[in-house]
Chains A and B, each alone.
Chain A
């Protein structure tokens, strides 16, 4: 599935313009994470409503909406140059000593400097021995065609099938154990204290791509991985493909009535997500709101443990399960039979792996939810 390649769209150019070298780009690099004095950029589909929800009234195409000092400026997508042109401009500008060049490029883009949440890192030549300690990054790498360059992945990187899975653990990394794979690029989603310094001493470049708070940040991670691995054009295409797939799902799913709510169960002790988390925003594309917003959107980092009384009283329209609990056992919980989601069988089990990542398969999760909505709206 990763071989398919969407045509380069006009909308991609907005991303492509944010080049690697700010001087060459018109916008400068967009921040991939927190940056002082700058708010995160948010991808919004359709007009944003006053209550802050991202409900799509009609499909207006992709726009990059940047919030600057609380004021929103719409950057309509302007075209002119294709992503390929930008890439080749960049190639000309950077003086590259002839490293082995990928077949699709006339000249190698390396050395390349890539920014991640861990700061800027320079990669001297096209990596051929990547170690991914992030299950999401592994999925992204394979999605952008960097799979053959991946040497080892951590034990949670179970997708796509056939990844070179090892016993490495992204949450307790041993720098020495990493060196066994002679990595020329390491990707992590979690950065233990002192890890970066250790890797710097070993002269191994590290990309730190932590959990994305928004889809836009996730898209930036694809592009960063694309640049770092010499698969930038594929990364742009993948982002474009994801965007159009999401757009199609949103377009083809029946609108839910205003105020349709869901309870999203992270674990059987009622930990949930608010609408402002990554998952909350993804579900918000379909017009759904989390009942956990009642706990304050930022309680416990957007992942509050809800009170059972509150869940019953909030009476969500849908229940989404990501904890291996079956809809049947939810219905059998004492008192839960009064919920309309239970009596109308609007309980959906979602894939726990996809639900805890921000990778390419998020589209599949959105599709599962959309299918449920389509089924129930009829």
Chain B
């Protein structure tokens, strides 16, 4: 990494404009402010019409060292502290992880349509979750573990198949292996789902994604994965910039593309598998957020990666607010909300890319 920076000027104008003179501070600050605002609004609003004073009172009473006893009822306390706040926090973690995973995948595979599910995490996690749901006597508590294992197994398989069969210098064979593995896992999952039609509804609702049952337990479950995975990805942000010029060029800069790809994919997969294990398959976050960040700031991963992480959190917290409130007190599947925003946005990204080549 340092070696590459010492070797002086990057070889192409595209990367020069992207990397040189970039100040990451301002976009990160703006994104952070947005996140704080979104999180505060999202915690204050919910299907249970609690007053702002009640919500603040409950929150303050849980701050350590401040011995403040809220006058709020036990119900209000349970709603804010046990239901609403963990849900906001979990949405933030999952959104952040999916956006970071998406940005990283797009970087290592140099493919603007790459999302965290590219190598089969979603199909694998879906199979794992379906197995957990249709197995008699298996309780819902096993679902996250089964989904996590399914996702990890699918991506490992993709990597093994892709790395063995493909040319060493190209990520294309891995992407294609991912398509094949995803198809295989989806086929098994679909068949299993059809065999157990009585369980169709829970399987279907898991696939659409939801944070309806979020708790601090879920937060504790995925926090280590998200932190480690996020830290590894952030540490690779400059190497991702180097990969943008092409693998041969990156090699000439002292970067080992395969090694970078393996580490980044492993980190992104681990984090994504953990995230989807508690949230279900939430689409589009990993595509929308990084592209939005690229369009509004610039294309360097030094900016794109951290800002995507923060904005991903904001985006999913906001989308989950929609899931909670649009048909309150009924839930709208979170995946429906994100895809509803994601679909039109996708078209927008594709159209603007035509005039603005080199976004990635």
Contact = CB atoms under 8 A, between A and B. Distances in A.
Interface of A: 156, 169-172, 266-271, 292, 294-296, 299-300, 304-310, 312-315, 324-325, 329, 333-338, 356
Contacts of A294: 329
A335 B86 CA distance: 11
Contact of B205 (A269, A299, A313): A269
B132 to A, nearest CB: 12
A230 B115 CA distance: 60
A312 B210 contact: no
A20 B202 CA distance: 41
Interface of B: 46-48, 74-75, 77-79, 81-84, 86, 139-140, 194-195, 197-198, 200-202, 205-206, 210, 212-213, 215-217, 324, 327-331, 333
A161 to B, nearest CB: 18
B138 to A, nearest CB: 10
Contact of B79 (A172, A292, A313, A333): A313
Contact of A308 (B77, B198, B206, B213): B213
A210 to B, nearest CB: 15
Which of A156, A269, A296, A356 has the largest count of B CB atoms less than 10 A from its CB? Answer: A269
A335 B76 CA distance: 10
Contacts of B205: 267, 269, 271, 305
A304 B197 CA distance: 19
A170 to B, nearest CB: 8
Given A267-B201, A338-B78, A305 B331 contact: yes
A212 to B, nearest CB: 18
Nearest to B198: A156
A14 B261 CA distance: 76
Given A307-B324, A335-B81, A268 B213 contact: yes
Contact of A271 (B48, B82, B201, B216): B201
B213 to A, nearest CB: 6
Given A295-B327, A309-B83, A270 B78 contact: no
Contacts of A172: 194, 197
15 contacts: A271-B205, A295-B330, A304-B329, A304-B331, A305-B205, A306-B330, A307-B46, A307-B324, A309-B83, A309-B84, A309-B324, A333-B215, A334-B83, A334-B86, A335-B82
A345 B277 CA distance: 32
B140 to A, nearest CB: 5
Rank and list the top 8 A-B pairs by shortest CB-CB distance, nearest first.
Answer: A335-B82, A310-B329, A335-B78, A304-B330, A171-B197, A295-B330, A305-B331, A309-B48
A338 B77 CA distance: 9
A16 B6 CA distance: 94
Given A268-B213, A310-B328, A335-B79, 9 more contacts: A169-B197, A172-B194, A268-B202, A295-B330, A304-B330, A307-B328, A307-B329, A315-B75, A335-B81
